[in-house]
Amino acid sequence: MPTATRKFLLFRRKATKDRAPAHRVPAHVHPSKWWFLLGAVLLFGFYFWFTSARRVQEPIRIGSFGAGSEAFVNTVGPLLGANFTAGNSVETLVNGTQFFPAMLKAIREAKQTITLETYIWTPGKISDQFIEALGERARAGVKVHVMMDGIGTLKFRTEDRDRLRAAGVQVFKYGRQHWYDIKPNIMHRTHRKLLIVDGRIGFTGGMCIDDSWLGDADSPKVWRETQVRVEGPVVLEMQSVFAANWLQTTSSLLIGPEYFPKIKETGKSIAQCIKSGPGEGLENIRMGYLCAIASAQKSIEIGNAYFVPDDLEIGMLIAARQRGVRVRIVVPAINDSKFGRAVSRSRWGKLIEAGVEFHEYLPAMYHAKTMVVDDVLVTVGSANFDNRSFSINDEDAINVIDREVAKTHVRIFEEDVKRSRPISAKEFLGRPFYVRFGDSVCGLLRSQF
């Protein structure tokens, strides 16, 4: 063989040998990576399925009796473990300009006990006011108990906690006092917002102790919120909801007339307080919403910060439309989570096609959590219309049957609609492809929102 030919063949074999690893490595590495990714997807998929609301899977059919009927009261109360009680008075408070002064006034006038549960508590002007008011009452001999969520209070300062404790306030983080405490379900949080004073005055809604709520929703930095101030027998149910989480965290039972006094009727509202959460009334609030939607004969008005209905909830809202019920929903145009906004949008399509009216609130972040059915039933509480609130978090809600209270909430809802931008079917279906694709991808994670 000629020398030149031999050198060429040797060079070619060497070059092939040198290149071979570059072709062989992906054949060994890539399949394992894909199997790992597939396993991760399946694992997360199972987790999302496991944490999804699924106790009620079939549509609820109530029949001919409506939300304000005796049959509704006698059925839904026992089903949700919270009977309706008569003789309550309910005052609706819109935005921080109304509810913060009312709450602080109630605290400053407390005689025996104060129980407060919140999700978010961050340093600021309103935080200082609450700390001062709670501390003053504790120093005066009032028993003051504060429960806060560990995730929602990551910004809560140690010095503020120490100020409260130095004054005699009992302060605990729900279920996890130290970073090293093991919490089996890390996604489980208390999202409840409760203030009960002397077992006689109760507040609930969507607000937290944060300067974002300090104002009248007149700018994007000030959140739009709804609270209720309640007196009457239903306050005892609110106290029992707080006491349940207090017991879970401290192993201490709040008991006696200081917390559960004998209460006279103070108004004409029929009301119940529902609690839900893993291990205590799982999906009760979801079932309350579903029963109310099933009872609707004329109108459903939902205002919610995070509206992410599941398939059953979508189906029941569409069924309400098919019965001739007008369904209107107010959601935020300004959202504190772009991801959450996309998740929410991924669930609107079938509802808009069925004639459900969507409105995006423009002036500020819309954080209310309310529903009015047939101008008679009002729901207000801490729960969002999503799977996290319905099956993962601890939540609370007040259901009120009273046409005067409902009239107030309908008026507030109409004002919110006027400050909102309607979303037409043409506009929604005409979203750019990349927006629709992004919404769909984000929607795959809806069980966590």
Query: Among all residues, which ones are annotated catalytic?
Result: 191, 193, 198, 367, 369, 374
Q: Positive or negative CA dihedral for 254, 173, 370, 354?
A: negative
Please state, in angstroms and rounded to a whole number, the distance separating the CA atoms of residues 199 and 111: 10
SS3 per residue for 8-66 = HHHHHHHHHHHHHHHHHHHHHHHHHHHHHHHHHHHHHHHHHHHCCCCCCCCCCCCCCCC
Parallel, antiparallel, or unpaired: how do β-strands 326-332 and 357-361 relate?
parallel
Token pair of 145 as six digits: 């108990």
Please answer whether residues 188 and 278 qualify as being in contact, where contact means their C-beta atoms are separated by less than 8 angstroms.
Answer: yes
CA distances for 165 relative to 138, 158, 176, 328, angstroms: 9, 10, 17, 46
Please state, in angstroms and rounded to a whole number, the distance separating the CA atoms of residues 233 and 242: 15
Please state, in angstroms and rounded to a whole number, the distance separating the CA atoms of residues 390 and 53: 7
**117 Cβ partners below 8 Å, 6+ apart?**
146, 147, 148, 174, 190, 192, 193, 194, 195, 242, 245
Please answer whether residues 218 and 88 qualify as being in contact, where contact means their C-beta atoms are separated by less than 8 angstroms.
Answer: no
Q: Is 112 exposed, middle or buried (0-12, 13-18, 19+ CB in 10 A)?
A: middle
Token pair of 72 as six digits: 């509704």
**Location of structure tokens 């279906």:** 429
CA distances for 132 relative to 166, 200, 230, angstroms: 12, 22, 24
